[in-house]
Amino acid sequence: MFPLETEQNVLDDSEVALCQRVYNHVSSLRQLKTDPDREELAGRIIQSFQHGVKDEDALVRLFIGNIL
């Protein structure tokens, strides 16, 4: 039997919106062209959020730090 997912792994609407804003901003700056690149970015943003990076500005800096 599969273990039940804990509520920690479920993002609420405001958390999804925050991750979406970060994704939109970073993907625009990085000018991502391929679906695999976009999917990787989305996954990394969500993973970082779930591992404790909850501040929107900190998430943006994490993913654009080497661009600016």
Residue type, 2: F
Note the pLDDT tens digit of each residue in 11-46.
999 999 999 999 999 999 999 999 999 999 999 999
Choose the weakest-confidence range: 4-8, 18-22, 52-56: 4-8
* pLDDT at residue 65, rounded to an integer: 77
CA distance 26 to 17: 14
Its pTM stands at 0.81
CA-CA distances (angstroms) from residue 13 to 3, 40, 44? 24, 21, 18
